């Protein structure tokens, strides 16, 4: 019955209620980044003390354990977004920002110096990839949409139209390239490696960096809002004051009733004739969990395989997605997405080896 009535699900979903004490400025004890000192802050500190890992990087936000109703609660999405179903998740740390060109470029130079990657016709692969079956990313040699240059054995971030693209999200990267980046960051910080780069399986028992599950991504994107649920990461409507996306109009007004942008087209601040039209990460306000750009800018890879019928069989606790598939999940919409595709419930898919000008990723760390 849980898959048939979203109102029952809203009641059924686990809701954490905690007291908040507002302050004029974010206090030092506010470790979750929401400018309140509350139970969640103490939970994070207690977890770090008990686990012995107090060195959580500043770019990671804590997403507390909890439950929610996953799927299309507004009855406006595709059949892959239903049935709405209850999900309970453990706590995680999630990157506040999408992985940037600078971060990925630094990874490429580290991996290159240690002989872990190779460049073939402008495409980056693992050095052990004899058949070139698992591309990591494109450089501008192969595709001018890439924001990464490669010359003289060195990777560097491009400048477009006089604008340094270092803080824009990494694009033209594959799911494999995102997983490999997770392992490299884990190694650099002395954490366990989650991915086997031969089988590409993720070991969720490891305390290291990985891609979020689809359920973790949607839960985090909702920003802690339980009732009423938000359509987008920061509210029920969307505009260019909130996100980088394409406002589609018909007949002189926005096509979607929840698109309230006053002008049509790409975001004017980033539609600068320097393709792609990404925005520097953190250009818009964060959601309730302190996460930026969960709506728009670039689609984000999840760890899961895609199955349009998965919600009918998804387990209640920590769903990890189908055991196999042909496509992976991407979430969140992008700079060239219509408002419909920026909804937090919207499910999109991609080949694992595809590299698109509107797709990137962010990482998580199990608590």
Q: Does any domain span residue 94?
A: no
Q: Does any domain span residue 257?
A: no
The overall average pLDDT reported for the chain is 88
- 6 confidence band (pLDDT: 50, 70, 90): very low
Q: Does any domain span residue 83?
A: no
Q: Does any domain span residue 175?
A: yes
Q: Does any domain span residue 363?
A: no
Q: Does any domain span residue 356?
A: no
Q: Does any domain span residue 214?
A: no
Query: What are the angstrom distances between the C-alpha of 7 and each of 82, 150, 263, 312?
Result: 14, 53, 35, 17
Q: How far apart are CA 171 and CA 244, in angstroms?
A: 15
Q: Report DSSP state, residue 13.
A: S
Q: How many domains does the chain have?
A: 1
Q: Does any domain span residue 321?
A: no
Name the residue range of residue 126's domain: 101-188
pTM of the predicted model as reported, rounded to 2 decimal places: 0.86
Q: How far apart are CA 143 and CA 158, in angstroms?
A: 13
pLDDT tens digit sequence for 102-123 = 999 999 999 999 999 999 999 9
**Lowest-pLDDT choice from 18-22, 197-201, 248-252, 264-268:** 18-22
Query: What are the angstrom distances between the C-alpha of 230 and each of 221, 332, 342, 344?
Result: 10, 13, 12, 8
Report the 10 Å Cβ neighbour count for 45.
Answer: 14
pLDDT tens digit sequence for 125-142 = 999 998 889 999 999 999
**Lowest-pLDDT choice from 20-29, 52-61, 81-90, 274-283:** 20-29
């Amino acid at each position: 019955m849980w898959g048939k009535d979203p109102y029952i699900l809203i009641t059924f979903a686990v809701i954490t209620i905690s007291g908040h004490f507002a302050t004029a400025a974010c206090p030092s004890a506010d470790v979750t980044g929401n400018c309140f000192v509350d139970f969640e802050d103490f939970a994070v500190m207690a977890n770090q003390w008990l686990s012995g890992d107090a060195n959580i990087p500043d770019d990671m936000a804590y997403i507390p354990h909890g439950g929610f109703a996953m799927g299309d609660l507004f009855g406006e999405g595709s059949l892959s977004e239903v049935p709405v179903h209850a999900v309970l998740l453990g706590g995680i740390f999630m990157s506040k920002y999408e992985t940037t060109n600078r971060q990925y470029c630094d990874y490429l130079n580290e991996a290159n110096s240690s002989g872990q990657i190779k460049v073939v016709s402008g495409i980056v692969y693992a050095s052990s990839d004899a058949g070139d079956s698992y591309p990591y990313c494109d450089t501008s040699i192969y595709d001018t949409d890439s924001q990464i240059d490669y010359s003289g054995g060195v990777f560097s971030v491009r400048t477009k139209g006089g604008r340094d693209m270092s803080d824009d999200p990494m694009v033209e990267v594959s799911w494999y390239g995102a997983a490999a980046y997770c392992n490299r960051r884990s190694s650099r910080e002395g954490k366990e490696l989650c991915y086997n780069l031969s089988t590409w399986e993720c070991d969720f028992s490891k305390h290291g960096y990985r891609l979020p599950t689809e359920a973790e991504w949607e839960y985090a994107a909702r920003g802690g809002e339980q009732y009423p649920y938000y359509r987008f990461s920061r509210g029920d409507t969307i505009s260019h004051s909130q996100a980088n996306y394409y406002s589609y109009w018909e007949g002189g007004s926005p096509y979607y009733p929840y698109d309230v942008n006053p002008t049509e087209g790409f975001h004017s601040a980033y539609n600068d004739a320097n393709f792609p039209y990404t925005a520097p990460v953190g250009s818009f306000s964060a959601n309730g969990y302190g996460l930026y750009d969960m709506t728009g800018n670039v689609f984000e890879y999840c760890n899961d395989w895609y199955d349009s019928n998965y919600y009918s069989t998804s387990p209640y606790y920590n769903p990890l997605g189908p055991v196999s598939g042909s496509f992976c999940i991407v979430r969140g919409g992008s700079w060239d997405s219509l408002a419909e595709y920026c909804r937090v419930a919207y499910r999109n898919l991609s080949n694992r080896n595809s590299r698109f000008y509107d797709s990137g990723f962010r990482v998580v760390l199990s608590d």
